[in-house]
């Protein structure tokens, strides 16, 4: 099994004191920030990060995201992130990230998102270049045999409540 054939380690950082809210745990805004740091690591891994933006004049923009908060994290906790690609097409990448509390060994949160490839000049969606598409699709293929995470594809709802 290669590193890419499983959700693979991307990023690690510590929960900073200024990220703690009045509830005594990391504020929701900083979950988003740390997931963004992990996303940057993934896009750098795929050669779609800042160097790509400068070289190609294109970038990946978040189009939709869903975060599931499983267990709180406290100041000073070491958190790490893994990535699993759930799918891609010529303009979009469907990503699933997990945040772990390394100190206590639990899954703290997940985020699922779709990013769209954008021409920075036109500010419009555009197909990924062939070589970038191949890198993304190779990773999607490496993850194809993995189970879909139980948090993936969820909608925001209140259990037992019917909409409408």
Tell me what pLDDT residue 6 has.
74
Handedness of CA 99, 128, 49, 63 (dihedral sign): negative
- The range of the structural domain enclosing residue 127 comes to 3-143
Residues 154, 66 contacting (CB under 8 angstroms): yes
Looking at residue 48, which CATH number applies to its domain?
3.10.129.10
Whether residue 137 is contained in a domain is answered as yes
In a domain, 154, yes or no: no
- Has residue 132 been placed in a domain? yes
Question: Would you state the pLDDT for residue 10?
Answer: 87
Residue 1, pLDDT score: 34
Q: Is residue 158 part of a domain?
A: no
Contact 25, 73 (CB under 8 A): yes
**Does residue 92 lie within any of the structural domains?**
yes
pLDDT band at residue 161, thresholds of 50, 70 and 90?
A: low
Give the H/E segment covering residue 135.
helix 130-143
Residue 81 belongs to a domain: yes
Q: Is the pLDDT of residue 97 over 90?
A: yes
Distance CA 24, CA 67 (A): 20
* Nearest CA-CA partner of 153 in 90, 91, 86, 55: 86
State the pLDDT confidence band at 7, using cuts at 50, 70 and 90: confident
- Which pLDDT tens digit goes with each residue over 27-39? 999 999 999 999 9
150 lies in some domain = no
Domain count, the chain: 1
pLDDT in tens, 102-119: 999 999 999 999 999 999
This prediction has a pTM of 0.92
Angle at 84 between CA 32 and CA 151, to 5 degrees: 65
Q: Please check whether residue 113 lies inside any domain of the structure.
A: yes
């Amino acid at each position: 099994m290669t590193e890419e054939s499983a959700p693979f380690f991307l990023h690690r950082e510590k929960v900073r004191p200024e990220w703690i809210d009045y509830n005594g745990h990391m504020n929701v805004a900083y979950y988003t920030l740390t997931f963004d740091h992990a996303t940057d690591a993934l896009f750098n891994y795929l050669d779609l990060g800042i160097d790509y933006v400068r070289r190609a004049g294109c970038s990946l923009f978040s189009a939709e995201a869903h975060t599931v908060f499983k267990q709180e994290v406290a100041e000073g906790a070491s958190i790490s992130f893994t990535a699993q690609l759930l799918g891609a097409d010529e303009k979009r990448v469907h990503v699933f990230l997990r945040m772990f509390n390394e100190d206590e060994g639990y899954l703290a949160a997940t985020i699922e998102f779709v990013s769209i490839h954008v021409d920075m000049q036109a500010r419009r969606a555009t197909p990924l270049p062939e070589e970038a598409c191949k890198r993304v699709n190779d990773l999607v293929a490496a993850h194809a045999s993995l189970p879909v995470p139980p948090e993936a594809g969820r909608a925001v709802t209140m259990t037992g409540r019917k909409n409408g």
